[in-house]
Amino acid sequence: MPGPAIAIPSRRPPAKAGFWLALSVGFAASLGLMVAASRGALSLDEVLSLETALGARNWFSLLCQPTDDNNHLLNAVCLRLLGWQPHLIVYRIPAILFGGYTLLALAFTARRWGRAAILWTVYLAGLSFPIILYCSEARGYAAAMFFAVLSFELLQCCWEQPTWGRIILFWVVLCLGFAAHFTFANVLVALGGWAVIRERNRGTPVRAAVLRLARLFAPPAVFVAVVYLVIIRHLAILGGPIYTEREVIGAAAAHALGLPDTAHLRVVAVAGCALLAICGLWHLVRRNRPEWTYFALVLFFAPLLMTLLTPSKYLTFRYFMVCFPFFYLLLAFLFVEWCRRPGIFKLLPVALILCMTTGHLLKLQKLVDLGRGNFLQALNDMAGANRTPLIRVSSDSDFKNGKLLHFYGLLLPAKKVEYIPHDQITAERPDWLVVTYLPDYPSLLAGNSLRYDLFSYYPFCGLSGLSWSVYRLANESQTNNHQFPAAPRSR
C-alpha cells in the first residue's frame, strides 16, 4: 500500500523572490551611499550645531532659550546626548538612521499602489543626491523628512480607523517633525489643507468638521504656537549667500532631477518637475485617488507660500527638503501608471530613472571624493610645515573660517592654533592665511606690504561645505612688493 502523502512546501514564486531581492539591493545601495557620504569633515553648519548643543549650560538653556536659526531642537538633543566624540562620523549616525527610516516609511506608504510603486519609490528616493546629502549630515533635515512621510501615512490611518492610539501618535509625530526642523511647516500646511478639503468634499456640517479637525490638529497647533512665541521669533538669523526666488526654485528642481545646477538648466528642471508632477496629479485624479489634494498642496502651494513669506536673503532650496520625498513618491505612482500602458510609455520611466540616477550618482561621487571640506587635512599640512608649535592663522571670514579653525584646531594632537582677526593681519603678520572666496583676496591684503604665496588648495563637493585656499607668509626678504597669487591648484 502506498505510504501517506508527504506535503512538500511550495517555493516562493519567482516574482515575489525577485521583488524582495530588488528591494534589498535598493535599500543596501542607499544606506551604503549615506554611510560613504557621512565620512569626512563636518560642515560649518554642523560645527555650529555641535557648538550650541555642547556649549549650553543645561537642557533648559538648550531647548527653551533662543540662540540662532541653526539650532534645530531634535538634532541638538541628539548631539548633546552623544557628547564630545573624537570620531566625527558618530555625530552623523542619527541622520543615517533617520534616512533609512525615511526609505522604510516611503516603501510602506507606496504599498497602497502596489509592489511596483514600492520599488520605484525606493530607487528614486534612495539614490537621490539631495536626500543622500542631507541624510548624511548632523542636522535636522533627515529627521524632518522621516516624520513628514510618517505623518502622511498616519493621517490616512486615522481616517481609515480613528483610534485614540493612532491620533496621539499622529500628534507626537507632528510635534517631533516640527522640532526636527522648522521647515516642517510645509508639511503641516499641506496636511491641514488636505484635511479641510476632505471635510468639505464629504459635506460634513461645519460644527462636526471643526471638532474633527481640532481632534487631529489642536495639540500640534498649540505646540507650534508655543515654539514660535518662545523660540522662533527671537532667533538670531545667521544668514548666508543670498539667492533670488527664481534661483531657489530652479536649484530645488535641478537637484530633484539630478541635473547640474546651472542657470540654463534650472529653467529646464523647473519645467520638467512641473510637467511630471502635473502628470502624476492627473493620473491620481483619473484613478479617483484622494491623495492628489495633498500632493498638490505639498509640492505647489506650501513651497509657494514659504517663498512668498520668507525674505529672499534667508531663502535656500534646502528649506523645501521635506517636500522631496513626496515628489519621488508621486513620480513612482506616475511611472507605475505609464508602465501599464502599451508602446513607448513603458520605456519612458526606465529612460527617466536612468538619466536621473546617472546625474545623482555623478554628484554623489563628487560628494564622496571631496566631502564638505578638508579642514583638518589643511591644518595637519600647516602643522607639518610650521616650524613652531603655534600655528598663527587668519582668513577672509572671521566668523566662518574662524569657527572652523577653532574647532578643528582642537583635534590637532601636538600643535595649537591661534586665530588672528582679519583686521589685525598687518599688525600681527600671521604665518598662514585661509581664503574661502578668492575674488576677495586683493581687498584682503590691500594697503600693506605683506606677500602670501599659495600653499595648497582644498576643494569641497560644491553644495554643503567650504573650500579653502591656504597661503603662507613669504620670506621676509620677499615681502617688499605686494603680489597676488596665481589661481589655486587642486590638491
The full 3-state SS of the chain, as one line of letters, equals CCCCCCCCCCCCCHHHHHHHHHHHHHHHHHHHHHHHHCCCCCCHHHHHHHHHHHHCCCHHHHHHCCCECCCCHHHHHHHHHHCCCCCHHHHHHHHHHHHHHHHHHHHHHHHHHCHHHHHHHHHHHHCCHHHHHHCCCCCCHHHHHHHHHHHHHHHHHHHHCCCHHHHHHHHHHHHHHHHHCHHHHHHHHHHHHHHHHHHHHCCCCHHHHHHHHHHHHHHHHHHHHHHHHHCHHHCECCCCCCCCHHHHHHHHHHHHHCCCCCHHHHHHHHHHHHHHHHHHHHHHHHCCCCCHHHHHHHHHHHHHHHHHHCCHHHCCHHHHHHHHHHHHHHHHHHHHHHHCCCHHHHHHHHHHHHHHHHHHHHHHHHHHHHCCCCHHHHHHHHHHHCCCCEEEEEECCCCHHHHHHHHHHCCCCCCEEEECCHHHHHHHCCCEEEECCHHHHHHHHCCCCCCEEEEEEECCCCCCCCCEEEEEECCHHHCCCCCCCCCCCEC
Output the pLDDT for position 484: 37
Q: Which strands, in side-by-side order, build the sheet including 468-473?
A: 416-419, 390-395, 432-435, 468-473, 452-458
Output the pLDDT for position 488: 40
pLDDT digits (tens, 9 = 90+) for 454-465: 899 999 988 888
Task: Tell me how far apart the alpha carbons of residues 106 and 149 are, in angstroms, rounded to a whole number.
Answer: 6
Output the pLDDT for position 386: 87
Q: Which residues pair with 390 in a beta bridge?
A: 416
Between vectors from CA 236 to CA 233 and to CA 240, what angle results, nearest 5°? 120
Output the pLDDT for position 443: 46
Give helix 245-257 / helix 263-286 axis angle, nearest 10°.
Answer: 70
Output the pLDDT for position 439: 52
The 10 Å Cβ neighbour count of residue 156 is: 15
Contact 358, 126 (CB under 8 A): no
Reported as half-sphere exposure (CB side, CA atoms, 13 A), residue 286 has a value of: 9
Task: Tell me how far apart the alpha carbons of residues 349 and 337 are, in angstroms, rounded to a whole number.
Answer: 10
Q: By CB neighbour count within 10 A (0-12 exposed, 13-18 middle, 19+ buried), where does 388 fall?
A: exposed
Q: What parts of the chain have a pLDDT lower than 50?
A: 1-10, 12, 442-443, 446, 476-491
- Three cell numbers at 128? 537621490
Length reported for the chain: 491
Task: Tell me how far apart the alpha carbons of residues 173 and 123 are, in angstroms, rounded to a whole number.
Answer: 25
pLDDT digits (tens, 9 = 90+) for 91-126: 999 999 999 999 999 999 999 999 999 999 999 999
Contact 148, 177 (CB under 8 A): yes
Q: By CB neighbour count within 10 A (0-12 exposed, 13-18 middle, 19+ buried), where does 140 fall?
A: buried
Output the pLDDT for position 442: 43
Output the pLDDT for position 239: 67
In the CATH hierarchy, which fold is given to the domain comprising 375-478? D-Maltodextrin-Binding Protein; domain 2 (3.40.190)
Chain position carrying cell 522640532: 179
Output the pLDDT for position 5: 44
Sorted by where each begins, the domain ranges of the chain are 20-370, 375-478
